[in-house]
Structure 1
């Protein structure tokens, strides 16, 4: 994706800020499930209609909010994780908006791109914009369900199903000690008071 963006950038008179799905790829963030089937083109953000130029293979995305950016390998510029998350609200279901935020805040430090605090701060900035920012309300609602330090999107989806049936929010990656070995283990989800542990039975666990 980086080379595609470098090549696309060379076609433009001014350096672009890549956004949405392109930004997710550049930031190495797991892609959420999309509504319908979407054609994969490079996406760049523009602030006004006057900035629009029809370039083959590039989709312009108009955005009224604060364009917060991130430089990737000193080569191209894309929207920050926080900005990307809000921009994706237009094309994601409420569930996948939560899943995407979770995937930006993995327990693995190498995969962690943001935090709840940074998302909140960015949403507050958008709330001060003089014009309405599409997706702001959806993201504020989603943020109440977001959890940091998860390990997989499927675990997030299972958690959201549990919550949708009124079971409450389980703790994610709850640490327990193996009484026989003394080693720490992490439960995908746990209702601690009820002493219930829930593990998502995926390929990762089989390995």
Structure 2
């Protein structure tokens, strides 16, 4: 790659380890900023991006910012998938971004194709989540007509001592919701309980 080139779109999404599955042919997405000419070679999809596109260096590799890569998913993913990636970017542990940065990036898009989808998705992105499946459960509950649960609510006992932090909670109703992945089933540990 020349110094003017950088990874974008699906390749940037893979480098950031966005929790989505690649669809279609596996091409390297390489971009340049106008007025440079994008690369044209076998196995590479070249793009020409607007001046001012945020480019960062991560692990010695030049690529668009995580926020720009997220916005480049518009039109390629479902609403829920875009929200899952948004939550991933502003997750509780080692977040790659913030709601403010995502909002600023979407606002800077102007009237481009897919901006409405990104604005709708941004309304459903929540900071502080722990897993993509936690986000999917939350979206499923809301789509089913239930109110939106609280994320990562700290449960305390009558003396004020910490008890647990469920993935999702309906606090007033005293309902805690946990998504237990395959590791919990296969390890024999489910919610801290080990069957005899």
Is TM > 0.5 for Structure 1 vs Structure 2? yes
CA gap 1:190/1:149 in 2 versus in 1, 3 angstroms: same
**Higher RCO structure, 1 or 2 (CA under 8 Å, sep 6+):** 1
From 41, 52, 77, give the equivalent of 1:55: 41
Q: Where in structure 2 are there 5+ consecutive unaligned residues?
A: 190-196
Q: Secondary structure at the match of 1:197?
A: strand
2:74 maps to 1:89: yes
From 83, 94, 98, give the equivalent of 1:115: 98
Corresponding position of 2:108: 125
CA gap 1:30/1:14 in 2 versus in 1, 3 angstroms: closer
> Is contact 2:19–2:84 with CA below 8 Å preserved after alignment?
no
Q: Give the Cα separation in 2 of the matches to 1:91 and 1:32.
A: 11
Q: Where in structure 1 are there 5+ consecutive unaligned residues?
A: 1-8
Corresponding position of 1:18: 7
**Residue 163 of structure 1: CA displacement?**
0.8
Corresponding position of 1:5: none
**Residue 178 of structure 1: CA displacement?**
5.8
**Residue 66 of structure 1: CA displacement?**
4.8
Pairing of 1:99-114 with structure 2 (within 5 A) = 99-108=84-93, 110=94, 112-114=95-97
**Residue 123 of structure 1: CA displacement?**
1.7
> Is contact 1:64–1:133 with CA below 8 Å preserved after alignment?
no
TM-score, length-scaled by structure 1: 0.78
Q: Deviations over 1:125-182 (max 9, x none)?
A: 223xxxx3222111111111111111110111111011112212111111113679x4
CA gap 1:22/1:136 in 2 versus in 1, 3 angstroms: same
Q: Give the Cα separation in 2 of the matches to 1:39 and 1:148.
A: 32
Q: How many residues align?
A: 186
> Is contact 1:86–1:139 with CA below 8 Å preserved after alignment?
yes
